[in-house]
């Protein structure tokens, strides 16, 4: 059985459904290949995810064209985060080992990070001690990232504003 034939609902599926329905306030923008949103644990300010829509198990399950589009959106999200945060660089990661659905981590890295963490991989941080995403605290950064994505011509219209329907039941 191929990976794409397996139907397993993951947290990624749930987050994409919430993004579509306007129930996730962490959503930044709708891109051509999926959804840009803030990570729930902000171990560095501006940590984002790109979730594909539709969800697939792994990058290799996309067609060559869709794969290129997803990777291009990932890098464009990184460009927007870089400009909006003033980060020194962006780290990218696609793993899928713990959450078996495609998702990309877009991680800004800053020159003022603690010495012992600045040159380490992002998983060296204590994610459990990281600040939780707060929609109000990230509103300005979300607007700045969305502005950059719009300027680049990669954002798409959304049916609902991010989090507009937070707390409401799923649609359909």
**Residue 5: partners with Cβ closer than 8 Å, 6 or more residues away:** none
* Separation between Cα atoms, residue 114 and residue 102, nearest integer Å: 30
Helix (H) or strand (E) holding 53: none
List, in sequence order, the alpha helices (H) in the chain.
11-20, 64-85, 115-118, 139-152
pLDDT higher than 60, residue 8: yes
Q: What is the DSSP code (8-state) at residue 170?
A: P
Portion of the chain with pLDDT greater than 70, in percent:
95
Cα 141 to Cα 1, 75, 106, 138, 162: the distances in Å are 43, 18, 15, 5, 13
The superfamily (CATH) of domain 3-156 is HIT-like (3.30.428.10)
pLDDT tier, 159 (very low <50, low <70, confident <90, very high otherwise): confident
pLDDT higher than 60, residue 5: no
**Residue 1: partners with Cβ closer than 8 Å, 6 or more residues away:** none
pLDDT higher than 90, residue 39: yes
Tell me the mean pLDDT in the region 141-170: 91
* Separation between Cα atoms, residue 104 and residue 95, nearest integer Å: 8
Return the structure tokens found at 80. 């927007």
Return the structure tokens found at 67. 């794969």
pLDDT tier, 163 (very low <50, low <70, confident <90, very high otherwise): confident
* pLDDT score of 157: 87
pLDDT digits (tens, 9 = 90+) for 106-128: 999 999 999 999 999 999 999 99
pLDDT tier, 1 (very low <50, low <70, confident <90, very high otherwise): very low
Domain ranges of the chain: 3-156
């Amino acid at each position: 059985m191929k990976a794409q034939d397996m139907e397993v609902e993951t947290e990624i599926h749930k987050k994409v459904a919430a993004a579509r329905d306007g129930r996730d306030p962490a959503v930044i923008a709708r891109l051509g290949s999926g959804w840009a949103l803030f990570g729930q644990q902000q171990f560095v300010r501006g940590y984002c995810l790109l979730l594909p829509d539709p969800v697939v198990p792994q990058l290799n399950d996309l067609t060559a064209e869709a794969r290129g589009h997803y990777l291009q959106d990932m890098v464009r999200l990184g460009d927007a985060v870089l400009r909006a945060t003033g980060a020194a660089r962006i780290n990218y990661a696609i793993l899928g080992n713990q959450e078996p659905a495609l998702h990309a981590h877009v991680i800004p890295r800053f020159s003022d990070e603690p010495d012992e963490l600045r040159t380490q991989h992002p998983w060296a941080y204590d994610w459990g001690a990281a600040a939780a995403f707060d929609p109000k605290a990230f509103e300005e950064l979300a607007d700045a990232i969305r502005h950059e994505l719009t300027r680049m011509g990669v954002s798409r219209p959304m049916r609902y504003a991010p989090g507009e329907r937070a707390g409401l039941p799923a649609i359909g």
